[in-house]
Amino acid sequence: MKQVYRQIATTPKPFVKWAGGKRQLIPILNENLPKTFGTYYEPFLGGGALLFHILAERNAQKCSISDLNSDLVLTYTAIRNRIDELISSLKNHERNYQKDSKTYYYSIRESNPRSEIEKTSRLLFLNRTCFNGLYRVNSKGKFNVPLGSYTNPNIVNEENLRSVSAILQSSKVAIKCRDFESVLRDAKKGDLVYFDPPYQPVSETANFTSYTNKSFTYEDLIRLAELCMKLDSKGCKVLLSNSDSKEVAKIFSNKSWKINRIQANRSINSNSKKRTGHFELLIKNY
């Protein structure tokens, strides 16, 4: 660990604000990590809060990270491989935003750039300047969040992006765009798989599932539960976050699984009065 921090000024942190991000839950997730494990898998990567925590603690950790959102995965690879070009594109966004934030924001939201760098800097720019900093697309896959009201958003955040780039380059991290079920082919006995899927809505106001143009359905939850059982029989260590619902508790009622009800804070509800603490489940087989 010390070796890496001589080269990297700041501890790398999630570079996008992501709905369902686990930053606030890191202490409790950390307490629930197994002492030892082989490769670390995170198939619902999002902002990767637990990934960055693990990499900060163990820089030689072998990791395999993936997500179905291709724009997000492209962003991880661009940060790793083309950081200088990305930073200069973000600086360009910053300059234009400072001239006329509203017009510029909506012109970028409507744009559909082709190049890897421009696609990536568009995602980062919108994430920093949109309302509530969330990523949401409509059924056609089009980003549809309005402009947020920030006086001075940190659009470039160069120090953190460089730290993330350095840690992704120096560590053994494989980054893929794929459905979560593919993890079954790769994970071996003793590996750790952390699943943080989109949650099933527990109330009318909590139905946030649009990270991609395909919603995460109840059938996906059942597919995930079956996958957890298969990974368990393979001898993998499985940690799963999910909503505090009777269905989920019932699915994992078998004695292989330990269920912890933990307190969490969600900030994604558009009604700030409803952003109060609630509970979620943390389920593991070790």
Q: For binding to ligand SAM (CB under 6 A), which residues are involved?
A: 18, 20-22, 43-44, 46-49, 67-69, 179-180, 196-198, 211-212, 216, 220
Backbone torsions φ then ψ of 134, nearest 5 degrees: -115, 160
Shortest Å distance, C-beta 245 to ligand SAM = 15
Q: Which is nearer to ligand SAM, 20 or 153 (CB)?
A: 20
Task: With CA atoms as reference, report the closest residue to 236 among 185, 174, 164.
Answer: 185
Rounded Cα distance, 215 and 219, in Å = 11
Q: How far is the CB of 88 from ligand SAM (least distance, A)?
A: 26
Cα 182–183–186 angle (5° rounding)? 105
CA distance 41 to 64: 5
Task: Name the minimum Å distance from CB 104 to ligand SAM.
Answer: 26
For ligand SAM, the nearest residue by Cβ is 46
* Residues making up the chain, counted from first to last: 286
Strand-pair partners of 66? 176
Distance CA 226, CA 28 (A): 25
Q: Taking the complex as a whole, how short is the minimal distance between the CB of residue 256 and ligand SAM, in angstroms?
A: 23
Looking at the Cβ atoms of 61 and 97, the one nearer to ligand SAM is 61
- Cα–Cα distances (Å) from 55 to 4, 25, 149, in that order, read 10, 16, 33
In this complex, which beta carbon is closest to ligand SAM, that of residue 68 or of residue 145?
Answer: 68
Q: Which value, in Å, is the radius of gyration of the alpha carbons in the chain?
A: 19
Query: Which CB atom, from 237 or from 266, has the smaller least distance to ligand SAM?
Result: 266
Please say which residue, 156 or 183, places its beta carbon nearer to ligand SAM: 183
Smaller CB distance to ligand SAM: residue 153 or 198? 198
The SS3 assignment for 23 reads helix
Minimum CB separation of residue 21 from ligand SAM in Å reads: 4
**Contact at 8 Å (CB) between 224 and 251?**
no
- Nearest 5°: the CA angle 178, 190, 196 is 40
Task: Tell me how far, at minimum, the Cβ of 55 lies from ligand SAM, in Å.
Answer: 13
| Nearer CB in complex with ligand SAM: 97/200 | 200
d(CA 123, CA 150): 17
Least CB distance to ligand SAM at residue 41 (A):
12
